[in-house]
Amino acid sequence: MRVLSTMALTYPEVGATAGELPAGYRLLRRRVRLGEGQEVFSRSVAALRGWQVHRGAGLAVYASQVSAQPGAVVALLLGRAGIGLYAPCRVVYVVDQPTRQGFAYGTLPGHPEVGEEAFVVSWLADGGVDFWIRGFSRPGGALTRIAGPVGHWVQDRLTNRYLSAAERIAHDQPPGGPSR
């Protein structure tokens, strides 16, 4: 983690997920309704900031901090060490408002993609609680470029897994789905 904390991010548009997404990247905008009310909002925020949404999506999470905060480094692993996808990132900003909480991280050297993703839980005026993901990315190396559509499929599948994990957490369900 210490070595990753000294590395530069791999893209120049740091923080762009907070505004207009930059041109020249594959753009991502997804949202899901988690439920309603303070309890759903609080549970969802705690899980998101504590990396539980990422763990619930099937990733191994190795983070320099127990919660997402500016400068925290996180190495995500999909699969197993040595044969999985390794994705190091750094938290570039945190959203900390009464009705909006979350963070964005950007890619570090060694990540298969170049770009940024933001994860935010919003408690809306109608009482509903939404979880949204915004991001931009492009291949980070020759292997990712060659993967083309397969790389996009993996990225889309992982996004769906984040959304599903957030829904399970909001409804206080275990990682495998509803309890039986």
Percentage, residues of the chain above pLDDT 90: 72
Tell me the average pLDDT across 152-173: 88
> What is the per-residue DSSP string for 127-168?
SEEEEEEEEEEEE-SHHHHHHTHHHHHHHHHHHHHHHHHHHH
In the prediction, which pLDDT does 48 show? 97
Determine the average pLDDT of the residues in 83-112: 93
Specify the fold of 25-170: Alpha-D-Glucose-1,6-Bisphosphate; Chain A, domain 4 (3.30.530)
**CA angle in degrees (0–180, nearest 5) for 8-116-61:** 80
Q: Please state the domain extents for the chain.
A: 25-170
Is the model's pLDDT at 180 over the cut of 90?
no
Residue pLDDT, tens place only, 116-133: 999 999 999 999 999 999
Backbone Cα Rg of the chain: 16
Q: pLDDT band at residue 80, thresholds of 50, 70 and 90?
A: low
pLDDT in tens, 21-55: 999 999 999 999 999 999 999 999 999 999 999 99
For the entire predicted model, the pTM comes to 0.90
